[in-house]
Chain A
């Protein structure tokens, strides 16, 4: 067993750390206030190749495994989560479908531009009536000659306003339930495709989620992603393999909150001593430390399993659940350690507190993860 990161990955990681510290942190407050990531910051991220994080080298990406990707996501997690989500949704659920399920032609057509960030990716599964019950899709895809016609509405789709390429799930055979769902690659310029209103939300400022309206949207047959009828399985596969990356981003945020809490607790004095001298505060620090470290071990273990090609439905669900819950607990304790400062918007703590909250909801709620875990355990023990 080897817990050492490769030298190359360490090198990549250091570079992302420099970029995050020097370029993203300085605009974090601006992103929060304007709900917009400065063009220049996005441009620099593209120049650095951050958008090609999960794309193979032959299509212009980085070509690294999940352990490596997690090391990089961990660094990205240490800054504004809206920025991290723009990149994470693109490199995760936005591109992974084409990477893992696309045929050679689709990969050639889409991946190079997605690797450079010229084209942004998004993933559209959720609908007003299909949230946790994702198989309950109402969007239909009807075949007409060599085209499919899509009709329906998706909502809460991250990167919808920025994206050029969407992985969209739609029902091709309503008599077959989950087995009648197919994934499509839909371009924003296809006729009948429209982005609706942007949602105002609690956090993740700078990252935008919006509605997609498909009205007789024409999608060429060659844009079916994977097999017809395998869309639901595909969606779960894309989400499952993305779990480690999401956990790594949460891990980075936990580490950042630990760093900030340590600094504050050693500097802030009350009753004549730095507050870390008060045992109640020191214990909160200890708890943050333990949970962050446990999340780190678990994240890299699941990432390693992905790289080995192991089956990991249960572990991925456990990690999604654990990473999200830990991030929320850590954010809560970090805020408590900061006292009033933690609640004031001139400081970053309350932002992490709000941004942490979504991780228990999107990409499958905590409750749904528990259902998956219990289901898998019951299978194992039956």
Chain B
């Protein structure tokens, strides 16, 4: 073993089941309808799964994927197992009436309370609600360092070097294990689950627990937010083609931007 090199890493990935990016959103009775919709692993969480597998393959250890949701989440957990994760855990929160990011983070915090881990990876945001809160909230509750929107991660012993995308700028940070990090696009290119991997995934452990087995009370994890209304963005209007001399077109364009769209 090289000086300072870790040989075994315990990695967890928190994973959300979300709408397929290509689904058309339909609102029914004030709620987003999931009738007949296709679901996928949240794309940012998929980067996290891929990175966890790469880190495990490099340093040795184990990858466990954890998802909070209902039985349907098994499909996404199985996909992560097929990609190469070792274990999967489904925490069922179907019974909780009012849920938001606080609910998910609190359930996960209760789950991790008695666990040993080096790294918890997740997505930067989910492609449905896009709040980006679950990761940081969980880190806060676990009282461990948290880095969001990472595009690279290197681990040497207990030291971790992370490159993060700071809204277009690049930041390089040094931190230490245990750590929670959330993945940004560009971290890696997630693999397709291999077909033999899918067959093997059937035999890998997928454990299901109820959130109340974690010793938490529904009252403590209930939603802190309230959804007032849900609406679709206005339909895109037809474009406008300017005509005539270039100089006149420029004038008209400036007027439009100023008066019609009010962007300047």
Contacts and interface: CB of A to CB of B under 8 A. Distances in A.
Which residue of A11, A52, A53 has the most chain B CB atoms within 10 A of its CB atom?
Answer: A11
A20 to B, nearest CB: 11
Interface in A43-62: 44, 47-50, 52-53, 57, 60-62
Contacts of B75: 11
Contact of B192 (A19, A52, A57): A19
A8 B202 contact: yes
B78 A49 contact: no
A38 interface: no
A15 B191 contact: no
A60 B197 CA distance: 11
Interface in A1-36: 8, 11-12, 15-16, 18-19, 23
A16 B198 CA distance: 11
Interface residues of A, number: 22
B195 A62 contact: yes
A50 B195 contact: yes
A315 B149 CA distance: 57
B199 A18 contact: no
B14 to A, nearest CB: 22
B202 A15 contact: no
Contacts of B202: 8
A23 B78 CA distance: 22
Contacts of B161: none
A182 B199 CA distance: 36
A61 B194 contact: no
A11 B198 contact: yes
B193 interface: yes
A57 B197 CA distance: 11
A139 B193 CA distance: 43
B57 to A, nearest CB: 14
Nearest to A55: B196
A63 interface: yes
A11 B75 CA distance: 9
Contacts of B192: 15, 18-19, 23, 44, 47-48
Interface string B168-199: 00000000000000000000000111111111
A55 B24 CA distance: 39
A53 B192 CA distance: 16
B195 A15 contact: yes
A17 B196 CA distance: 16
Nearest to A115: B196
Interface string A62-89: 1110000000100000000000000000
Nearest to B78: A11
B139 to A, nearest CB: 32
Nearest to A49: B195
Nearest to A45: B192
Contact of A52 (B82, B191, B196, B198): B196
Contacts of A18: 192
B78 A62 contact: no
Contacts of A49: 194-197
A62 B194 CA distance: 10
List 7 tightest A-B contacts by C-beta distance, closest first.
A49-B195, A49-B194, A49-B196, A48-B192, A48-B194, A19-B192, A62-B195
Given A8-B198, A15-B198, A62-B196, 9 more contacts: A11-B75, A15-B193, A47-B194, A49-B196, A52-B195, A62-B195, A62-B199, A63-B199, A72-B195
15 contacts: A11-B198, A12-B199, A15-B82, A15-B193, A16-B195, A47-B191, A47-B192, A48-B194, A50-B195, A60-B196, A62-B195, A62-B199, A63-B199, A64-B199, A72-B195
Interface of B: 75, 78, 82, 191-199, 202
